[in-house]
Chain A
Amino acid sequence: MLWHATKRTGFYLLVIGIVFISIFPFYYAIITSFKSGTALFEINYWPTSFSLANYTQVLTTGSFPRNLANSLLIASVVVAISLLLAVTASFALSRVRFGGRSLLLFTILAVSMFPQIAVLSGLFELVRFFGIFNTPFALIFSYMIFTLPFTVWILTTFMRDLPIEIEEAAIVDGASPWVIITKVFLPLMWPALVTTGLLAFIAAWNEFLFALTFTSSNNTRTVPVAIALLSGNTQYEIPWGNIMAASVIVTVPLVVLVLIFQRKIISGLTAGGVKG
């Protein structure tokens, strides 16, 4: 009995510890964002004052709203294009027999193995060559490098697990590959699409290095770069309050997205179509 209670206590202590470590940085950012003046430089673990000054300042001065819009646009387009390409590619990779299929799959995976810094200079040349430097296209283009490998891989694995008979039934019914993808597979793939789409969105939303390199003006920057480059009145002043407020603001869309889509992530959508 005592041993049982000890185990339970230990388990919940561990849970509390993990939760604390995970959310403490974000918690600290939130309470800091509500402070103002010299309170910023006092260490307090509980909210002591409440002021929205940092928020109004970040949203009204500088190009932060514009940066937010840039990020939203770029991340959304990246998700849309990635999913379109990944769904069609994964259909071929999982359902069409052709030579070199697994080699191709591993090549796709290999692309994501290179560290960003390794491809940066080459990519920069490409961006210049296409004349898209300092435009959203440069970022959309370069973000595909890391979103496509994992979207293709996840969707390929998922599609491979869809029962082949359903596809064959559709073939007998006269469905073309495009109809099979859009009318039969896509409705079954919602959970995978939502998951990969969210991951791609988060990756594009948070990306820093490419965004820093391929943009040069305040109006084309995305949020992570804008936050890093927020500056105070003098070069010796770091506006912690503004930075924290901006950080909280950029986290909100992600939280909202996850909350919206978590209801869509329904497992076992294929139940009933085939046996088992």
Chain B
Amino acid sequence: MAGLLLRGIKKSYGTVKVLHGIDLDIKSGEFIVFVGPSGCGKSTLLRLIAGLEDITGGTLQIDGQVVNQLAPSKRGIAMVFQSYALYPHMTVYDNMAFGMKLAKGHDASEIDKRVRGAADILQITPYLDRLPKQLSGGQRQRVAIGRAIVRDPKVFLFDEPLSNLDAALRVQTRIEINKLHERMAGVTMIYVTHDQVEAMTLADRIVVLNAGRVEQVGAPMELYHRPDNLFVARFLGSPSMNTIPCTIVSGSPDASVQPDGCNKIAVAAVIPASAAGKRGTFGVRPEDLVLTEGSDAIFHGTIDIVEQLGEVTLIYVDVGTSEPIVAKIENEAVVAKGQKVSLTTEKRHLHVFDENGVAFPRS
């Protein structure tokens, strides 16, 4: 139905530049998640798409039509706000019907059908006569989603919709949004969050933003396994990737690096021979590290801190680098503070980044 095309989208408030030229192709029916740290411009980008802020530069197309100057209500979008933004003095029914009543040209029975249809999907039919203040947080957020559904949008925009809910409700609502996406095939969804779990579980493709620029766009697992750069590598995954400054010892095919304070490590990354001798960054994810007794160990050290999380245990190992190495190991492993351990992983799990933080491709 409706794809989006962003070309060189810029936004500045006075002299403060917030977005520095965003290019993005969003296919019709895709679930796109904007993710990034606070202040990276992800919400601003969403508000530009919604039309709540003016675009400073570049063009925005929805469904092949340039919409830069179009009012939000004419863009075929609907938005779900973080704070729900329900009209406090209207019942749930009126909240959901408000947009259609304003649009004119819909008779009462049509509005009624659409509102009840949306209420049915979200299981809020029993609350249609209540006021927002008589609902719980989760119910309010569902009303907000229902209000968006009633608008029958081409593009669904979510601005951190789950961040005001408690942990259990967040999981439940996340699953509901996922179902909604399946049910409304063809409707493009754009979702802003700072929560990487939401990003990983909901997205067809994730857009990682940092300081007003797109760092990488790709499917969740692609971003996780093949981050383009240090920022994406560290942003996705919890706890974040262990990164150690290193010297590149030799290029492919026998590429190896020497992390500061550690022994030389052979890596699978494709590193040009010309990079040998230069500085870079070596990275390995905590969940890829395992305890070992054998000679394949890449780190040896003393356990500083042990964190039992139930299903896994995090250990912080002092291996001589400036920061301890974090490893996520199975809970059965018996470890204690002060214990000497060795850690290893397979070669394919090792990441190497050049001096600018750009990843070397992995074979």
- Contact stretch, chosen from B84-92, B199-207, B208-216: B84-92
Cα distance A172–B86 when bound, in Å?
A: 12
A-B interface pairs (CB < 8 A), number = 87
- Contact stretch, chosen from B17-25, B73-81, B268-276: B73-81
- Contact stretch, chosen from A31-39, A173-181, A207-215, A224-232: A173-181
- Contact at A172–B132, with CB atoms within 8 Å? no
* Residues of chain A with a CB closer than 8 A to B103's CB: 174
Residue-wise, chain A 78-111 has the 8 Å CB interface mask toward B (1 for contact) of: 0000000000000000000000000000000000
Give the most central of B84, B85, B86, B133: most A CB within 10 Å: B85
- Contact at B83–A175, with CB atoms within 8 Å? no
Shortest distance from the beta carbon of A22 to any chain B beta carbon, whole Å: 36
A25 within 8 A of B: no
- Contact at B84–A274, with CB atoms within 8 Å? yes
* Residues of chain A with a CB closer than 8 A to B88's CB: 166, 188, 269-273
Q: Name the residue of chain A whose CB is nearest to the CB of B50.
A: A172
Cα distance A273–B89 when bound, in Å?
A: 8
Shortest distance from the beta carbon of B129 to any chain A beta carbon, whole Å: 14
Residue-wise, chain B 140-154 has the 8 Å CB interface mask toward A (1 for contact) of: 100000010001000
B12 within 8 A of A: no
Residue of B74, B82, B102, B135 near A272 (CB, 8 A) is: B135
Shortest distance from the beta carbon of A167 to any chain B beta carbon, whole Å: 9
A184 within 8 A of B: yes
169-220 of chain A: CB within 8 A of chain B: 169-175, 179, 183-184, 187-188
* Residues of chain B with a CB closer than 8 A to A273's CB: 84-88, 132-133
Cα distance A163–B86 when bound, in Å?
A: 10
Cα distance A166–B87 when bound, in Å?
A: 6
A237 within 8 A of B: no
Shortest distance from the beta carbon of A97 to any chain B beta carbon, whole Å: 10
- Contact at A188–B89, with CB atoms within 8 Å? yes
Cα distance A168–B86 when bound, in Å?
A: 10
117-166 of chain B: CB within 8 A of chain A: 131-135, 137, 140, 147, 151, 164
